Amino acid sequence: MSFSLLRASASVSKQQTIEKYGQQSYDNFMEVNTKYKDSVFSFLFSNPDALRELYSALEGVTLPPDAPVSINTLSDVLYMGQVNDISFTIDNRLVVLLEHQSTINPNMPLRLLIYIARVYEKIIDRRKAYRTGLEKIPSPEFIVLYNGVKPYPERAELRLSDAFKDAADLKSAAGSAAALELVVKVYNINKGYNTDLARKSRTLEGYSEFVERIRENGKTMAKEESVKAAIKQCIEKNILRTFLETNSSEVMNMLITEWDLDEAIAVNREEAWAEGREEGEKKIIELWKSGKSLEEVIKTFGSS
């Protein structure tokens, strides 16, 4: 089975996928997903069955197994700066689902506001917005699944209105509300958190367990070996077994690529910081040699 085909269905053949969702849906899905490098998260949850299961768990609903799922992730993922987002419509809802492995960014609602506007542009004929009749659109939902190593609550909400310059006055004014709001639901999916969700979504439970095993193995093993061991352990324990048996090499490549990218970004930041520090030190020395007092150096340097 080719890598591009594996993107379309984590454990189902091309023919089965086409028979179940239709040729057009399959083609549209492939067109979106072959334009960018998947993360393990987006690879795993790009399976419509896995998305349906996860959405049902998060929303506390029961969807029929044939409930339509249409994936409409933006292909230019650099717009969001990450490769682990999945946008899809289900049950008349437009859901933007993100995995977040680092500290939750408070600017996430602002980024998602820009992102969702582009998704609507993609799925809706803009000419309809100028018609006299009301154009019905899917209701948006924004969900972040956090599995970083830093402590974080089981559940939290991020609001766009917190970023408004008059946010404090807005909240204190009786009966007032923001003219524009966007709420992001954040769920901590690390092992031991939100166990109710894990029980309802075996795929999410398996993914959290897989990530946990990689981290535990990484305490005593090299990165690549920690992933290999985690894959073997999960297959033996029947955790994401079909997915990992079918896609072990792709999973390995994705994780190594993610780590390499993270390291490159970290090194770049360190180099930029070091260069900035060196320039700053030179400037301080020059000011000091010119006869400036300590107070003047601090004032000049601080205002530059």
DSSP 292: -
Distance of CA 81 to the CA centre of its chain: 10
In a domain, 221, yes or no: yes
- Sites in the chain below the pLDDT cut of 70: 1-38, 75-84, 167-176, 257-282, 284-304
pLDDT of residue 132: 86
Contact 262, 254 (CB under 8 A): no
Quote the domain boundaries for residue 184.
Answer: 3-247
In a domain, 18, yes or no: yes
The owner of tokens 């960018």 is 36
Q: Which helix (H) or strand (E) element contains residue 98?
A: strand 93-100
pLDDT of residue 3: 31
In a domain, 193, yes or no: yes
The Cα 202–Cα 57 span in angstroms is: 10
pLDDT of residue 209: 94
pLDDT of residue 256: 75
The Cα 148–Cα 151 span in angstroms is: 8
The Cα 57–Cα 63 span in angstroms is: 10
pLDDT of residue 92: 86
Quote the number of domains for the chain: 1
Contact 223, 257 (CB under 8 A): no
In a domain, 93, yes or no: yes
In a domain, 281, yes or no: no
pTM for this entry: 0.70
pLDDT of residue 194: 93
DSSP 136-196: --PEEEEEEEE--SS---SEEEEEGGGGSTTHHHHHHSTT---SS--EEEEEE-STTS-HH
In a domain, 134, yes or no: yes
Give the CA dihedral 41, 42, 48, 52, nearest 10 degrees: 50
Largest CA distance in the chain: 81
| pLDDT tens, position by position, 119-143 | 898 888 888 888 888 888 899 999 9
Angle of helix 14-21 relative to helix 23-33, nearest 10 degrees, comes to 120
In a domain, 53, yes or no: yes
Long-range contacts formed by 136-140: CB under 8 A, 24+ apart: 137/94, 138/89, 138/92, 138/93, 138/94, 139/92, 139/93, 139/94, 140/93, 140/94, 140/95, 140/96, 140/116, 140/182
| pLDDT tens, position by position, 207-232 | 999 999 999 999 999 888 999 999 99
In this structure, what token pair is assigned to residue 38? 């998947």
DSSP 58: H
In a domain, 276, yes or no: no
